[in-house]
Structure 1
Amino acid sequence: MAAKSLISKTAKNILASRSVSLISSRELSAWTPDKIVKSPHKDVDIPSRTVPEQIWENMERWVDRTAIECAITKQSYTYHQIYKYSRNFAAKLRTQLKIRDGDVVCIMMPNCPDFAVAVLGALEAGAEVTTVNPIYTAHEVQRQITLSDPKVVIGIPETITILKEALALAKKDLPIIAIKGVDGVLPPGTISFHEFALADNVDHSVLKEVRRKSEDVAFLPYSSGTTGLPKGVELVHRNIVVNLLQQNVDTIRHYDETTKSSQDVALAVLPFYHIYGLSIVLLHKLSVGLKVVTLPKFQPNTFTAALKEHKTNVLCAAPPLILFLGSHPGITNEHLAFIKTITSGAAPLPRKDVVSVFDKVKHKMNFLQVYGLTETAPLATAMLPGSEEYSTAGYAISNTELRIVDSALKPLGPKEVGELLIRGPQVMKGYRNNPEATKKCMTEDGWFQTGDLASIDTDGTVTIADRLKELIKVKGYQVPPAELENVLKEHPDVLDAAVIGVPDTRMGEVPKAFIVLREGHRADANSITTFVSKRVAEYKRIKEVRFLNELPKNPSGKILRRVLKEL
């Protein structure tokens, strides 16, 4: 029998405080007879627009406002400028580099104002965008280039050498567009980004040839896999556009609307190459007229200075950043005085870390846990503004349905723990060139299997219990064991390898390797970790090594990670 539809007093008060038309409380987060959990928020209308069209939809209201500014260099663009420069860039991509609809453009840059111009320009040109972590090694970049098959790559002076090495490894000869360094020097063998974007008298008529629709792929981020290499997630324009609009519903909105006299400031420290930073921070905040202040990477001194100098109102964060805010003695009420909302995603967060932040502020402030995945573009659930249920991930956002199932995909009821399934217009099209992987995670009736264990209360509140998948979370970053295992097996002394995450007070988790050496071969832990460190980004590096005679496996050959954790 279906559970009785309930909603907590806190949620009811919050929802009632918003002067909007809501679906009745009887239907709020209702468990339907077939155990589907509905969103408490009213649905949004889904327009047939591309991402750039959504960004520019209301631009005339804030056309001369600052759209984006670098906290370090102070380089900035107004909304009018990023509109003009991204269209310039798009026209040059079409005319000079012959980019056509559906071609892939690869961007390997840290957060900066030119990132916005590059990504919007590539989309305006009809291209799909794949983003790469700027601290990746040549081997990691080569793999993504091979999988995504871009026609152009874009970088900064610090990433050009890696990009060239990656292209050589991939046996590809592609044009490289580069942003000039602070010294004004363009890396040799590259095309000037600024000569494309900031050119005068650019003929935009070529953009009339672009025929991209809402159902066409806009972004191709690569999601870490647990049993194989990363998979290209096909996010169509509609996925992103609806996820931007879902954040604007009055009962969930966490920013103040931009007017002639006020403009909220969002500090962008989460990386734009990741879907959380790209969609929720950059694209969403630009779509509603906020000022986005960028930091190329997290450093305590520049981060604290930016918080204070720019009077930050909205901060999107991951658990390590929340821990820093609450524990670092350099963060005081003065730095947080203008904060209206902090959101946290990427991993569960202890309540004490949230309380430590609130202990430093002397005004009312929202702290919202959010949940999502690359495959959901990314937002799927969020706490209601004003809620204090910090251990939960909130409710399903508009147009979104949830379900909890057991290992046989049989629906479970309230408070029962099982795998979380999501259905909504923000769910990806599928994995690029990987129908088998798509079929494994998508049911025939449109449910995406998240691979996360969760429970849903009677009122629709989601609590993430654990990861069903085997991803290791290092400071909020996803580290797939299979990727590190593949690298370890390239070591000449290693016969077999398995990697698990082990708890770490500072990093959350760190990778630990279990190694079986080849007969007659010798290797020590240092040689193993050094070998891996040269081939992967810093946060993926092996921190511990243990040698075994054999790895525990089941009859089908799958590594029994549970046994390794017990060891």
Structure 2
Amino acid sequence: MDQDLNVVRGDSPDWRPPNKLLGQYLLSRLKLHGDRIIQAYPQYNETVTAAVVAERAVRYAATLQSLGVGCGDRVVVCCGIHPHYSSLLLGTICCGAACATLNNKFDSGDLRRLMEIIQPKVVFSMSDAVPQLQPALSQLATIPKLIVLDDEDTWKWFINNKIAYHEPQGIDPYTNVAAIMCSSGTSGLPKAVQITQANLFTSLMAFKHKDAYVQADDIVVITSPLFWVTALLYSLASMDHGVLLVLEFGASEEHVLGVIQQQKATVLFTASNFALSIAKQPSLNSYDFSRLRIVIATGTAMAMDTQILVENFFGASVVQLYGMTEILIATGMTRKGQRILGSVGLLVPTMKLKIVDPNTGISQGCGKVGELLFKGPQVSPGYLNNPEATAATFDAEGWVHSGDIGYADSDGNIFVTGRIKDIMKYRGHHVSPIELESILLSHPEVLEAAVIGVPHPTDVEHPRAYVVLKPGASVTADSLAELVASQVAEHKWLHGGVCFVNSLPKSPTGKIIRSELRYLTES
């Protein structure tokens, strides 16, 4: 902690930027790995070697160039997990273009808005997304080439095209956008986050840090969808470091555990809520995950008790990462292999953190709670074709306002305590839902829980819990309210009560959608 500036700093980098563009750098790394299997796709019963990824990428880059794709252009990939994704991604980067990975479950309205922003030259999709895509594409001034991955005619033409690849010239890795990912930012409609070659390279180098969690000989099962930035980064990391990446998204808890057992995985990278969902079902511990040494959880901060619960189930250490599409992975380091329960870890090298009072903007000292602001070479240059949203999230000094609340201890360990918009107010007190949810989840009959503030005429808000119980549970709402009251101060009690529901509304990445719970409350 820099006591003068109240800025927390990651380690100084122990690497130098390569004298190559990102595409050429990754092709050289893939050549080094050769016939090593770096990716597995259980859904397709297919594995891919480094050599195959490289050969496909060069071939696809050449075909994209024949379609007029070059420096500054954009290519959309809108599909679920697919064995050719990494080669399409790298091929696009090798053209000097940006690969925009979109959620194939977006409705036609979201797709139309994003296509108008991105203005792609080529779109890759599966046939199930075409009905939503076509109306969006038809509204563009220049209609892009649509290539359907499971359409034999168009896909065979694309992959079998015999055209020479020409390495583009004059590309600046610090300004050239290599990837575009969707984000709602701190609020609002989906936005197109620009990620440069330099952003990605800096993040990749963090994987090589001596204290990085994932090593080259690991087998990593990742449940992130392709449109999540962690899938982008781990796909690139598998090319760079030779890590075997097993991609699996949208499957049940049982299926994922079966994949861990079959692949003899050593690392599980997953959403915090998904890891907890597994750990709350003891019947699932019949699977063999004895080789699993670490569970990396992200998406939502885990409280200490929840982290211990997940650790006890897997018999493996649980570490938390913090990131946003706008800043990539910001935390996830430890010192001497130690992790602090409830913390999302230390900053990655080159990243800076400032914690400010969300009302005054004044920076806070060690241990004081405020909004987390990030700055560093991993930070996006902003949202594509959206200067207003960019100005609202990226300030004039280059700090990204995360919208998350937290603090750092004297050793630089970072703790996330909630979202600004999720913090409840009760008679002048601020109440974080994470603490209350952790207490509820400690009950053996509670499967899931979410706490929101219910408007009150005199107290501002009353905390209310929405709880999903395990089958056959007998616990009452009053008992759960008493459990919370026994462990927290009176202003944190569940004055709004406890409501039992069959399920909690979630985003495709597993995050609880609290706005829908608020709508349920209002209706």
TM-score (norm 2): 0.77
Amino acid aligned to 2:101: T
Is the CA contact 2:369–2:407 (under 8 Å) kept in the aligned structure 1? yes
Deviation at 1:274, TM superposition (A): 1.0
**Residue 207 of structure 2, aligned match among 220, 242, 247:** 247
Query: How far off is 1:428 after superposition?
Result: 0.9
| DSSP-derived class of the 1:126 partner | coil
Question: Given the alignment, which residue of 44, 50, 53 partners 1:73?
Answer: 44
Residue 179 of structure 1 aligns with which residue?
A: 149
Is residue 404–residue 412 contact of structure 1 (8 Å, CA) maintained in 2? yes
The one of 439, 444, 447 aligned to 2:399: 447
- Aligned mate of 1:372, from 298, 303, 323: 323
Instruction: Show CA shifts across 1:122-174 (max 9, x none).
Output: 11222111111111122221121111111111111222222223323557632
Counterparts of 1:432-511 in structure 2 under 5 Å? 432-469=384-421, 504-505=466-467
Q: Could you tell me how far apart the structure 1 residues matched to 2:341 and 2:148 are? A: 43
Report the 3-state secondary structure (helix = DSSP H, G, I; strand = E; otherwise coil) of the residue aligned with 2:100: strand
User: Which of 218, 232, 239 is residue 264 of structure 1 equivalent to?
Assistant: 218
How many residues matched?
Answer: 447
With over 3 angstroms needed to count, the CA separation of the structure-2 counterparts of 1:51 and 1:386, relative to structure 1, is same
- Identical amino acids, percent of aligned pairs: 21
Query: Which residue is equivalent to 2:158?
Result: 196
Aligned partners of 1:100 and 1:127 also within 8 Å: yes
Q: Does the 8 A contact of 2:330 with 2:347 survive in 1?
A: no
Deviation per CA, 1:276-298: give whole Å up to 9, x if none: 2221x222233110122222422
- Say if 1:383 and 1:393, in contact at 8 Å, map to a contact too: no
1:147-546 map, 5 Å:
147-168=117-138, 173-180=143-150, 185-186=151-152, 192-197=154-159, 199=160, 202-205=162-165, 207-209=166-168, 211-215=170-174, 216-226=176-186, 228-251=188-211, 253-257=212-216, 263-279=217-233, 281-332=234-285, 334-361=287-314, 365-384=316-335, 386-406=337-357, 407-469=359-421, 504-505=466-467, 542=516, 544-545=519-520
SS in 1 for 2:124: strand
Change (3 A) 1:110 1:385: farther
Query: Map of 1:82-97 to 2, 5 A cutoff?
Result: 82-95=53-66, 97=67
**Aligned-pair CA distance for 1:114:** 1.2
Deviates more, 1:233-242 or 1:398-407: 398-407
Rate the CA distance shift 1:426–1:469 in 2: closer, same or farther, 3 A. farther
SS of structure 2 residue aligned to 1:292: strand
Q: Cα offset for 1:360? A: 3.4
CA distance in 1, matches of 2:509, 2:262: 31
Name the amino acid aligned to 2:265: T
- 2:82 aligns with 112
Deviation per CA, 1:11-66, whole angstroms, max 9, x where unpaired?
xxxxxxxxxxxxxxxxxxx3242222222465543335433234334334421011
Q: Which runs of 5+ in 2 are unaligned?
A: 424-432, 435-462, 470-504
Shift of 1:343: 1.0
For the 8 Å contact 2:334–2:346, the answer to whether it is kept is yes
Gaps spanning 5+ residues in structure 1: where?
1-29, 258-262, 474-500, 508-532, 549-567
Say what the alpha-carbon RMSD is for the aligned residues.
3.2
Q: What is the CA-CA distance between 1:333 and the residue it aligns to?
A: 6.8
Distance 1:73 1:359 in 2: 32
Contact 1:270 1:317 in 2 (8 A): yes
Compared CA separation, residues 226 and 359, structure 1 to 2 (3 A): closer
Which fold has the larger relative contact order, with Cα–Cα distance below 8 Å and residues 6 or more apart in sequence? 1
Seen in structure 2, the aligned counterparts of structure 1 residues 384 and 71 have a Cα distance that, compared at 3 Å, is farther
Contact 2:213 2:333 in 1 (8 A): no
3-state SS in 1 of match to 2:377: coil
